[in-house]
Chain A
Amino acid sequence: MSVRKPLPRWADLILLPFINLCAAFFVCGIVVWIIGENPWNALIVMIKGAFIYPGSLGYTLYYTTNFIFTGLAVATAFHANLFNIGGEGQAYVGSLGILLATALFAPYLPGIFVILLCIVCSALMGAAWALIPGYLQAKRGSHVVITTIMFNFLASALMVWLLAGPLIQIGQQSPQSDLIPKNAHLPSAETFFGWFGIDVASSPLNLSFLVALIALFVFWVLIWKTRLGYEIRAVGKNQDAANYAGINVSRTIIITMTISGAFAGLLAINEVMGVQHRAILNFTAGYGFTGIAVALMGRNHPIGIFFASLLFGALFQGGAELDFEFKSITRDMVLLIQGMIILFSGALAYMFNPALSRILTRVLKGGEHDD
């Protein structure tokens, strides 16, 4: 048996992920067909709902913003071979940073500083929530996979208690915090373009999208252009080798988890400062888990993460459209698509590898057999 040649770079980076994605959609299509609807029509409805209808692009990009943050969180941890399932909880707790910052600074400082401080504080709170699992893995040997799952439940319990108790809006029955002050609101896309006299449709899209793009760039610089990023990747490839090369492994693990949590915490700025203007119950709505799919599909690279986020943004927005157009398929379809994408681009990522490499060798060598 000959040793199989690795795939060419372009095939590994573009062709294989594309095939995996198609496989995921194909299986979902079969499910749609089984329940008696036309999968092709469903796809058209989703594309229209995500990009064509007025304002829909804004919604798509608003969801994209969330997925960029949570995707970056998962990807950062992946580079150190850590699995952060806790993006959900870290984002949830991130909102506390914003509430804290607005309470402390909003009465005294002008808007721009308040906004910057809020952004920093949401990242810090997310970071703190990930720091504990990171510390426990590095120093006490408990695995982050399990501890971050548990921390999601802890975050949920903590937030329910806070939002229904100490932080509840006066005179309100439903668990939600007070509105944050006006000067801590992030301008919506409508307002922003309005400043330049451009008319765009109303949507929840806001300036946190720009913060997400900056975060993508920061992530790229961090992972590939800094010493810390090198250490993170070294620890991810081989802890023993990294240790032997003089890298402090447990310190790197803790820092990686902290940065990962900071990215997740930033999700709160989109929801709390950009859209809801308050912390509400379950505002994270599963975005943290979707970050896993985003990172897997985006191959932990900022460009990949951007397009994967865009895809999921489109799925979430387009999926909502399914509710209106079909009787028997709803936005829950998106959960299935996510599951399939995680399965095919994550757990089964290399299932098609042998077949693909056989076909490619044959095609590239013009039908010559090599095995």
Chain B
Amino acid sequence: MIEFFFQFLWALDATLRVATPLMLCAMAGIFSERSGIVDISLEGKLLSGAFVAATIASLTGSAWLGLGGAICASVLMSLLHGFACITHKGDQVVSGVAINFLASGLTVILGIAIFKRGGQTPTLSSDERFRPIELWFVDILDNIPILGSVYRELISGHSLLVYVALICVPVASFILYRTRFGLRLRAVGESPIAVDSAGVSVTWLRYRALIVGGVFCGIAGAYLSISHGANFVREMSAGKGYIALAAVIFGNWRPIRAFWACLMFGFLDAITSRLQGVDLPIIGEIPSQLMVALPYIMTILLLSGFIGRPSPPSAIGLPYRK
């Protein structure tokens, strides 16, 4: 029983680590999509953030500068997306695909040019990264039977960026539902013409939504390469941006629900490696590829209205023409 309890705790702990970049990217996706801009470029922003974070951290020795650089790079990608599909009213999906290609190409090309290691960045030492933080009172709470272990294993001992991600979710929800900016942002995704006739700039509002998304993706990228990992590896985002997009849809374009979707997808990811080769009672061994496919299958079923009813923003994907 104790054995199982700790197994479960470690699985949850791993879930949190895996779900962190998903949460941040999902919040980015929600801001962008609620403002009416399809964002399949989450993947590219995540990748470029990861690359710039590792590069700057390696060159300057400062994780904080790395984080700042990652945010700048990701915001730049967002601005490019905005330039193409807000200013020039280009196709949002095409622009997203382009950004993903640019990120794949540029990160490797620049990586080789700077470090000459086939696209990887040098391994960072521990003070060039965001290290796990021991929270307060771990030792005192340790004496309490179950709660102490939960606190030590699950809640304490993550890097700063994990806590940032956890805070970002309620913050995103607050901005969207409790501020004037959030109200307008949701309105511009439903009916830009109404926002426009109220005298608010649709263009600037959508740009701001994309910039906020860029910040989130940048933090996520930094988490991948200078917190969770210790260097940048080519294509290290490995589809996480798309999973985050699936979580956005699964969460019906709402931050808190998307957060739960991220945790669920993260949990699936975390237990996949643990279940490999394990014979479960009754069902037997689950092929790991099925676990990999599960988030996508669930999202497709949800999108098709087989479980629940998705309600995407009405004006999503449509450029606004006066």
Contact = CB atoms under 8 A, between A and B. Distances in A.
Most buried by B among A36, A147, A154, A348: A348
Interface of B: 38, 40, 80, 84-85, 88, 90-91, 93-95, 97-106, 108-110, 112-113, 116, 119, 239, 242, 245-246, 249, 287, 289-290, 292-293, 296-297, 299-300, 303-306, 310
Contacts of A36: 113
B242 A332 contact: no
B296 A150 contact: yes
Contacts of A158: 289, 293
Contact of B88 (A142, A149, A151, A351): A351
Contacts of B304: 136, 140-142, 147
Most buried by A among B100, B287, B289, B305: B289
A346 B113 CA distance: 28
A150 B243 CA distance: 9
Contacts of B289: 157-158, 160-161
A330 B306 CA distance: 46
Given A146-B249, A339-B105, A342-B98, A136 B242 contact: no
Given A339-B98, A347-B91, A330 B296 contact: no
Given A328-B113, A335-B104, A347-B85, A150 B246 contact: yes
Interface residues of A, number: 47
A153 B296 contact: yes
A335 B246 contact: no
Nearest to B92: A347
A333 interface: yes
A350 interface: yes
Nearest to B43: A149
A139 B9 CA distance: 43
A311 interface: no
18 contacts: A35-B110, A83-B91, A83-B93, A83-B94, A145-B93, A146-B299, A149-B242, A151-B296, A157-B293, A161-B290, A292-B97, A328-B112, A328-B116, A329-B113, A335-B104, A339-B101, A343-B95, A347-B95
A57 interface: no
Nearest to B109: A332
A346 B242 contact: no
B302 to A, nearest CB: 9
B300 A339 contact: no
Contact of B101 (A136, A142, A147, A338): A338
Contacts of A336: 101-102, 105-106, 109
A225 interface: no
A145 B38 contact: yes
Contact of B98 (A35, A146, A157, A347): A347
B98 A346 contact: yes
A360 interface: no
Nearest to A27: B102
B109 A150 contact: no
Nearest to B44: A339
A327 B114 CA distance: 12
Contacts of A335: 101, 104-105, 108
